[in-house]
Amino acid sequence: MYIRLDQSSGSPLYLQIVDQVKSMIAGGALRAGDRLPTVRELASELVVNPNTIAHAYQHLERERVVETRRGLGSFVSAAEPVLSLGARRARVAALLDRALVEAHHVDLNADEIRALLEERMSEMADAERSDELASSK
């Protein structure tokens, strides 16, 4: 599993792993039921402390993104959100705020921001659809 860690950003390595696994799932590189490498395998591949990998997996498990089956390994779970709508909204709101601050700094007005948002959403949907078509062939 190819995960690229950016040490210079300062952001905790386990969060980077969590984020990248999530984006792999969102992007279709990982599907429900796919097996993740073991803590040992991934630690060896990335040359990272196994505790960091374990922390990342625990985090993913807590969020029900990944589930562990005894003796078999860790698998991507079928998307079943466990967090309440409020918690989910709060998560995304924090990220949106950062984007909005940046947009404000580069002088995009409200309409431009909304248009950009629509653009990005339809692009992601398109990418997902073409992936599904490709894999069904």
Q: Which residues bind other proteins (CB under 8 A)?
A: 5, 7-14, 40, 43-44, 46-52, 54-55, 58, 98, 101
In the complex, the smallest distance separating the C-beta of residue 69 from other proteins, rounded to whole angstroms, is 19
Kindly state the greatest CA–CA separation across the chain.
Answer: 54
CB-facing half-sphere around the CA of 33: CA atoms within 13 A: 0
Closest to other proteins by CB, 72 or 94: 94
Closest to other proteins by CB, 2 or 137: 2
In the complex, the smallest distance separating the C-beta of residue 82 from other proteins, rounded to whole angstroms, is 20
In the chain, DSSP finds a helix count (H) and a strand count (E) of: 5, 3
In the complex, the smallest distance separating the C-beta of residue 51 from other proteins, rounded to whole angstroms, is 5
Q: Are 64 and 18 in contact (CB under 8 A)?
A: no
